[in-house]
Amino acid sequence: MTQAPSLAKHLDHAARLHGETIALHGDGRTWTFAELLTGTRLLATTLGTGTQPLIATGNSHHLAHLAYAASFENRPFWPVDRSKALPDKVLCPPETALIISTSGSEGQARAVLLGNTQLDAAASAANHVLSLGAGDLWLNCLPLHHIGGQAILWRCARAAAGMLLHDGFVSEAIAADFKRHPVTHISLVPTMLARLIEADIRPPPSLRVALIGGAALSPPLYAKALAAGWPLYPSYGMSETAALLAVFKPGDGDWHTGLVGQVMPGHDIRITGAGRIVVRGPQVMSGYLDGSGVDAEGWLLTGDLGKLDPDGRLTVTGRADDMLISGGRNVHPLEVESCLAACPGVRDIAVTGLPDDNWGDLVVALVVGDIEAAALRAHARQHLPSSAQPRRIGFLEALPRNAAGKLERPALRRLAAEIPV
């Protein structure tokens, strides 16, 4: 059986065919593919040999170079958030190429094991669907300790496309690079997209794909972005599937909340009786570091709820752990958030629940924006059933989100509990 090419193999191939093409912009300098190949090969000689994962932290530029170097040494690479303690040395299966800590929005991060097989399959499928090719330029402002950032590294190496690497998200820096460089692709979480729109930063004429993921995209934000000219590709993925698993493309028809389009080719997907998404296919991880993760037939039971339409398009309706039972009825926070986000004056919103003797789960809305509670309640009464209407409303300067842009649910519940009755 032919082994899947590694990240290093893709860099070597790109350097041979496109050596003078720009591979990486960032940290005050530019590397061609030939220069990046030479530099990361030299860096690899300083790492030492062995099968232990290379565990590292640092800025995005440092982690990008180490990802290539570790691949040259056939060592698993485990990039870690700078705010976290480095994990202990571990042993992992020999086919492991990348270890990614899940974002842990519920406070229970786990280590995902991905091999070259999954990572290459994911990059190949994404490049095909997103039309990424040699000479294109992807602006990457996602953290490289997250699967979103690492996936872009793989896509660009495989396609011989350039990567414009930012160490974090800064609206002004993105606006400046839109003017300086012919950016063709960008990945954003909805909060990043919202900040760019609020700052009246418009996409450059060169931009063909704005891949949106990491959290739910609200209808008002979708409409504003389209009106501003953003070429939106709402998507769905996770560390366990080497990032992108499904994407809704312009021209695929009318979009609605949670619609993420068709699943990547070669994958089987089904919805359990409880509404949870189950998937298997070439991108699905080999498992977690603790040995759990997929069943004997390769199926991954995700923590997400969803449904499939007759055309096989996937709609994500929320997280199974987030489901509320209010007044004896199931309430999806995502559906309530999408409804309330359309209320004028709401810039960001999250819905959570608190234990209540009467309701079971008391629906609580945490709001960022210039709006009165009475106006939000009136909007809820007009558009939501009684069981889904917020019984308590709190106002914040910003919602608690992790580096991947996902809401931190435990923090939301703590903030909800602090709202005066």
| pLDDT value for 226 | 96
355-400 pLDDT, tens per residue?
988 889 999 999 999 999 999 999 999 999 999 999 999 999 999 9
Q: What is the mean pLDDT of residues 48-69?
A: 91
Evaluate whether 105 touches 407 at the Cβ level (below 8 Å). yes
As a whole number of angstroms, the distance between CA 148 and CA 121 comes to 15
Q: 3-class secondary structure for 120-131?
A: HHHHHHHHHHHC
Element (H, E) at 325: strand 324-326
Q: Looking at the chain, how many residues does it have? A: 421
How high is the mean pLDDT of the chain?
92
Structural domains of the chain, ranges and CATH numbers in brackets: 7-319 (3.40.50.12780), 323-417 (3.30.300.30)
Q: Which residue has the higher pLDDT, 211 or 329?
A: 211
| pLDDT value for 103 | 59
Q: Residue 35: how many CB atoms within 10 A of its CB?
A: 17
Nearest to 67 by CA among 144, 165, 4, 146: 144
What are 314's strand-pairing partners?
261, 308
Q: Residue 385: how many CB atoms within 10 A of its CB?
A: 12
Q: What is the mean pLDDT of residues 343-358?
A: 91
Say yes or no to pLDDT of 111 above 90: yes
230-240 pLDDT, tens per residue?
999 999 999 99
Pick the range with the lowest mean pLDDT from 40-49, 102-111, 308-317, 383-392. 102-111
| pLDDT value for 228 | 97
61-95 pLDDT, tens per residue?
999 999 999 999 999 999 998 877 777 778 888 89
Name the residue with tokens 């000219």: 229
**28 confidence band (pLDDT: 50, 70, 90):** confident
Evaluate whether 314 touches 246 at the Cβ level (below 8 Å). yes
Evaluate whether 284 touches 119 at the Cβ level (below 8 Å). no
Rounded to two decimals, the pTM is 0.89
